[in-house]
Each structure stands twice: as structure tokens, then as C-alpha cells.
Amino acid sequence: MIPAISFCDLTVSYGSRTVFAHLTGEIRSGQFVGVLGPNGAGKSTLLKTLAGLIRPAGGVVEIDGKPVRRRNEAIGYVPQAVHLDEDVPLTGRDLVGLGLDGHRLGFPLPSRRRRDAIEAALAEVNALHLADRRIGRLSGGERQRLLIAQAIVSKPRVLLLDEPLNNLDLASTHQVVDLVKRLAHEGQMAVLLVAHDVNPLIGRADEILYLANGRMAKGALDDVLRPEVLSGLYGYPVEVLRAGGRIIVAAGAIDGHGHAVSAASPEASVMLP
Ligand SMILES: Nc1ncnc2c1ncn2[C@@H]1O[C@H](COP(=O)(O)OP(=O)(O)OP(=O)(O)O)[C@@H](O)[C@H]1O
């Protein structure tokens, strides 16, 4: 079967600086993949490249077997840190509707079909009760659900979410991850979700794609979050500690005094002990 997303020999550079090189992988329909890695590893850059927003220096990205292009109806994308002004006079319904207008410039949907599509997307993320609320007055978790509704309103095959869990409390974090898992599994979307903390993804994401040092490891969580795999990526010893059902990535104990650093800030794990 043709994968929903495939990338082959992918290299992305900003000017002379290469962010990552020669990455190859695929994500199938119905798969939920968590994207992890330290700050600056290129997680957002990878998502933008898969969304067709950045042209790679080398390699190809295909969505459903076809070269990716901008304004692709098959892709729903929620960028990092969408700023919604408190005073902006938009309702939840307006925000979700923008997801239709962006793809169909010049070809507006008939108003009935438009309304139905928006209601369906709101229902999908359990946000019908937010349809008439001003978005500036909503909580972080409520806004995030509406942004996901906006991204799925055109029924994409691929959903790319850049740090949707930032600034959410634990309950909202789990709600959003459970929602994303359901969209992948029941809606048969291929979903990539960038996160800083692996813990909310344990038992929920089907696979982890870990980026570090311009390289990538991808597979089941237990296969990727292993000392030998992460040490290979980082290029120096990294430990993976498990305590109370949580996972902690730690810079390796070269001298027996490794820094235990929370996986909530894995960037700290790039510090050499
Ligand atoms: N438009 C740009 N021009 C030049 N360099 C950029 C640009 N966008 C990102 N970079 C650089 O590319 C690298 C990867 O950035 P990116 O935002 O993809 O990383 P990230 O893994 O998403 O980081 P974070 O976890 O901090 O969000 C960083 O060094 C960043 O400074």
C-alpha cells in the first residue's frame, strides 16, 4: 500500500547550514507518530518540509504517492505557537471555517456544505459548545482543539501538529493526545505530533521519530528510546531512565555523574556531563 507520507534522502538547509541530511522514512494512514528531539534539532523544519512549505535541498517528499505541493488539501497543518489575540472578534466557528477558505481560494463551498463541514469538524474534536465563543477568551486546551478542527475541516489524509501540547496542563495534554490518537486510528489519518515531553505519548503514539544531530531514529517507542540508539544519534553517551512509569532522557554518565534531565526538556540532554 502507498504510504500517506514518504520522504526519501531528505536534506534541508537554511543557507549554508544543514539542519538534517539524508532522512528516509514513511508514515502510513492511521499511524500516530510522535516527533521528539532537542531544541533546534529540526522538528519544526521537518514538519514544514513535509507540509510543502520548505523546499528541501535534496530528496523528495510524497503525500499519497504524489510530490508534495503547497496549498495541499490532503494536508492539515497546525504551526507552532499560533498567536490568537484576546480581542480578535472571531468565534470558534469562524476559526474552523478559515481551514476551508485557505484551500479553496476563489472556489467557496456552498454555504450549506460549508456549515456542515464546520459542524462536523467541531463535533470531531468535542468542541460544538465552543462554536459561538470568542476564541480570545478560551483556554489553551480549548483553542488547541479548535486549531485541530481547523486543520481537519477539509478532511485531510495527513495531520501535522507542531507542539500542540505547549502550555497545556496535564488534563488538557492528555485530552489533546487522546483526540489525536482517535483521529489517526478511527479517521485513518497519518499524524505527526511534535512534543517536548515523551511521557504523554507513552501508550498512545504508535511510533516515535527522534531527531538529533541532523539524524533520525524512527520506530516503536521502546525501540527508539534506548541508550544505544540515542547515544548513536547524539554522538555521545545518553541514558534512558524509567521511573514510576515515566521516561527520563539523561546525558550519559561518562564519569559516573550523569546529569539526570527531564524528558520534558530533552534539550538539556545535549549537555555533556
Ligand atoms: N527560517 C530560518 N532561517 C534560518 N535558520 C532557521 C530558520 N528556521 C529555523 N532555523 C534554524 O534551524 C534549526 C532547526 O530549527 P527548528 O525550529 O526546526 O528546530 P526545532 O527542533 O523545532 O526546535 P524547538 O524545539 O526549539 O522548536 C535551528 O538551529 C534554527 O535556528
Query: What's the complex ipTM?
Result: 0.98
Domain extent listing, the chain? 5-216
Long-range contacts of 224-233 (CB under 8 A, 24+ apart): 225/198, 225/249, 227/252
Give mean pLDDT in consecutive 10-residue pieces for the chain, a chain of 273 residues: 95 96 97 96 97 96 92 88 78 91 59 90 92 91 91 92 90 91 94 95 96 96 95 93 90 49 35 25
Q: Which ligand 1 atom is at minimum distance from the Cα of 211?
A: 21
Q: Which residues of 142-166 are buried (b: 16+ CB within 10 A; e: fewer)?
A: bbbbbbbbbbbbbebbbbbbbbbbe
Task: For residue 196, give the nearest of 232, 165, 222 by alpha carbon.
Answer: 165
Question: Phi and psi for 79 in degrees, rounded to 5?
Answer: -70, 170
CA of 209 to the centre of ligand 1 (A): 17
* pTM of the shown model: 0.89
Mutate to test the pocket of ligand 1, among 36, 44, 162, 270 (most ligand atoms within 8 A of CB): 44
Domain 5-216 has CATH 3.40.50.1000: no
